[in-house]
A and B are shown apart, each in its own frame.
Chain A
């Protein structure tokens, strides 16, 4: 079974620039999550999709972050403009449905200089 695919693996940008991350979940998984993990902390949910609808985006900084899940499969997360405090690992995860175990991608390590 193929896992959750994420790209890019690493990204270095300067503040005020924009960046986009891509995620391809496990086939058939209805629920897709984007988490932000700052070094030394637990993953913090940014947005959760159920198929192509948003379940929760209460912790997504909507003035600079946006996300979409086209056709209920792939998803992209965008930051525009980036700030220094956005430096983190961005993890995509998927699950068969809500309240099921999460399968994580390898993450994108973002450094904002």
Chain B
């Protein structure tokens, strides 16, 4: 089955800095790569997603890049704000239609 590795497990930045979270996947048939944000005590919510026919997608301060050859994708957050503090999960699905999640990255943005 699919295996998703996510790094780093914790990321601490100053307000206004950029943050990058990276994920790798194992199944070359995977073609859908969403990112979810989970605030403390709340449900995960989709913040951005990308499909394998696209290399990059941007939504305001958030962007995701995908390298199919290397089987990795990354989340980029620019001009971080304290409200960006949360746990971020990457996921991959496609070949088996089963969404597999990474272990999560705890992002801490210091004011």
**Chain B residues, Cβ within 8 Å of A98:** 93, 97
Contact residues of B: prevailing secondary structure? loop
**Chain B residues, Cβ within 8 Å of A33:** 99
Please tell me if A73 contacts chain B, counting CB pairs below 8 Å.
no
Q: Considering the complex, give the chain B residue whose CB is closest to the CB of A31.
A: B97
CB pair B46–A101 under 8 Å, yes or no, is yes
Q: Considering the complex, give the chain A residue whose CB is closest to the CB of B34.
A: A101
- Chain B interface size, as a band, is 20 to 34
* Bound Cα distance from A102 to B36, whole angstroms: 9
**B83 vs chain A, min Cβ distance (A):** 19
CB pair A42–B89 under 8 Å, yes or no, is yes
> Among the listed stretches A20-28, A77-85, A104-112, which one makes contact with chain B, having 4 or more residues with CB under 8 Å of it?
A104-112
Please tell me if B45 contacts chain A, counting CB pairs below 8 Å.
yes
**A108 vs chain B, min Cβ distance (A):** 11
Please tell me if B100 contacts chain A, counting CB pairs below 8 Å.
yes
CB pair A42–B97 under 8 Å, yes or no, is no
**Chain B residues, Cβ within 8 Å of A43:** 44, 89, 101
Q: Considering the complex, give the chain A residue whose CB is closest to the CB of B105.
A: A42
**Chain B residues, Cβ within 8 Å of A91:** 43-44
Please tell me if B72 contacts chain A, counting CB pairs below 8 Å.
no
CB pair B103–A102 under 8 Å, yes or no, is no
Q: Considering the complex, give the chain A residue whose CB is closest to the CB of B104.
A: A42
How would residues 34 to 64 of chain A score, 1 for a CB under 8 Å from any chain B CB and 0 otherwise? 0100001111110010000001101000000
**Chain B residues, Cβ within 8 Å of A107:** 43
* Bound Cα distance from A107 to B38, whole angstroms: 12
CB pair A106–B104 under 8 Å, yes or no, is no
CB pair A48–B98 under 8 Å, yes or no, is yes
**B26 vs chain A, min Cβ distance (A):** 15
- Residues of B whose CB lies within 8 Å of any CB of A are 1, 6, 31-32, 34, 36, 42-46, 49, 89, 93-94, 96-104
Besides the contacts A48-B97, A101-B46, what 8 more A-B pairs have beta carbons closer than 8 Å? A42-B101, A56-B98, A58-B1, A99-B31, A101-B34, A101-B49, A102-B36, A107-B43
